[in-house]
Amino acid sequence: MKKGECYGGLYRALRPLGQGGQGSVFLAVHERSSRLMALKEIPLRGQTWDSLEKSHFCHLDHDGLPKIYDLFLENGNGYVVMEYVPGWNLREYRERKGSMPGSMLLDLSGELAEILVYLHGRTPPLIHGDIKPGNLIVRKDGKLVLVDFGAAFQKDGRRQKAYATQGFSAPELFLRDGRVDISSDLYSFGKTFQYLGGGKGGGLGLRRVFAKCTAANPRRRYRSARRLLRAIRFYEKRMYLYSLLLCLCASLFFGTGTLRQRIAVVQESEKDYQEAILSNNISKIKSAVQKAPGREEGYQQLLKCYLADEAFSAEEAIALEAQLAEGEAFLSEQKEEYSGLCYDIGVAYWYYYTGSGGKTYSLVWFQKAARGTLDRGRQERSALYLRLGSFYEQKSRKERTGEGTVSYWEFWETLEAMTDAMEGSGKLEEQWAEELVGRIYENGEAFREAGVEREQMRDLLKRGGLKLSGEKEKTWEQAAQWLDQMYERKDYR
């Protein structure tokens, strides 16, 4: 487009507003009404006009989306006439003012999540495809608007790599034949607010929400925008109730003070809490948890400190469970957060407990986790940990008393299923790989008797072994040699 030229016989381009995902955007004036509008030019590049209309949300009506007034074809290009949204975009805000305060992050992330609930809730769902700070405008009344639908697609539509934005678009979009879907928008959502907050903005709970959005594995992100919004609203409600409680407490001491003084006390208390749980000082974290027993992030930080040396002692386990006993009534109402905490405690017992019976203790926590609300990956792994725990107990009873039976074929299938479920789980995958190699080495003959083929066992052993590093690599190499020797023995031919 060129400044001063008239398009569609009605819209005169005044000045550029920016370069969007699929074309330029100009501020334009309607020649008859003198009304200011945004005019977007889109090279069709093989698209049909019908697909263009759908991709530009012609039939949507939401305060967080600009209204679309007109569409037309001219000189081989498509043009979309949209509501002009005066205000400042969040990229400009970040560049001029630096990191965004936590309260603003909370408000704007909630508004954008509501917009995504609306878009993704259409039939079929509509994906924006290019969420980033430059495409988010705050109106003069403070309300957020999501603009530039140039990269928008219906669910499962293909996305051209040229329109992916480094640093904000999901990593899977840069792969060959990458597809946009709902989780792509959620990834960009998380990256956007991490950037706006400078990586440290908002409370720990809100940062955890953004971190879940930006998981490298799409299956570990929120399943939907509605779940994302629910997580944000829960955090918002919790912060409100916590602030209200602190205000009431503060009023006992500052009954004659001003509201400003009381708010300052609340803010200072929250600051002290965040500093305490992020201090890596166990005494400070315990004190913070005692003051706010209903906040899950305090327990998570306490567990993280206990596991810093990759060991979970009986004393540490008792101390953690004692702290939980005081707050469990509050936490159990927060199904998703509480389930995640139970899962993490189960993992700590399973892999790191230095006393005896760690796997048995872990089953209690995996049962609690499985009864709650977990993402699909952790839900699947919780169920598999429970199955494995059952096999270990049956095997132990058989060895001690000679009673009962163990289905080694089902045991083998569970090891395979857990190995699949561990894909992409980071450090946990290596922990499991070490256990897997040990279980095959320990139960190889029983697996062979149950009908597991040599190549099956060797392939799974290799899958686990390739996840190990350093001295641990020798473990699976030794197990592989033993496996070959076992199958070469005459009594197994």
Which of 13-22, 118-127, 263-272, 351-360 has the lowest average pLDDT? 263-272
Check pLDDT > 80 for residue 211.
Answer: yes
pLDDT 10s digits, 336-380? 888 899 999 999 999 999 988 899 889 999 998 988 888 888 999
Check pLDDT > 90 for residue 188.
Answer: yes
Q: Average the pLDDT over 437-463 and give the result.
A: 86
Check pLDDT > 80 for residue 325.
Answer: no
Which of 15-24, 112-121, 188-197 has the lowest average pLDDT? 15-24
**pTM for the whole structure:** 0.52
Band (pLDDT 50/70/90 cuts) for residue 438 is confident
pLDDT of residue 155: 43
Which of 66-70, 185-189, 236-240, 241-245 has the lowest average pLDDT? 241-245
pLDDT of residue 491: 54
Look up the CATH superfamily of 6-83. Phosphorylase Kinase; domain 1 (3.30.200.20)
pLDDT of residue 253: 54
pLDDT of residue 166: 84
Q: Average the pLDDT over 20-28 and give the result.
A: 75
Of residues 482 and 210, the one with the higher pLDDT is 210
Q: Average the pLDDT over 151-156 and give the result.
A: 49
Which of 5-14, 42-51, 297-306, 342-351 has the lowest average pLDDT? 42-51
Q: Is 88-235 a CATH 3.40.50.300 domain?
A: no
- Mean pLDDT of the chain, nearest integer: 82
Which of 244-253, 421-430, 479-488 has the lowest average pLDDT? 244-253
Q: Average the pLDDT over 168-183 and give the result.
A: 80
Of residues 40 and 54, the one with the higher pLDDT is 40
Check pLDDT > 80 for residue 335.
Answer: no
CATH class as words, domain 279-405: mainly alpha
pLDDT of residue 178: 65
Q: Average the pLDDT over 419-429 and give the result.
A: 87
Q: Average the pLDDT over 276-280 and give the result.
A: 82
For residues 416, 338, 214, 141, the Cα torsion angle rounded to the nearest 10 degrees is 160
Q: Average the pLDDT over 254-273 and give the result.
A: 57
pLDDT of residue 260: 55
Of residues 322 and 307, the one with the higher pLDDT is 307
Q: Average the pLDDT over 172-192 and give the result.
A: 85
242-246, 267-271, 448-452: range with highest mean pLDDT: 448-452
pLDDT of residue 156: 44
Band (pLDDT 50/70/90 cuts) for residue 162 is very low
Q: Average the pLDDT over 281-310 and give the result.
A: 87
pLDDT of residue 190: 95
Counting residues of the chain whose pLDDT is more than 90, the rounded percentage is: 26
pLDDT of residue 291: 78
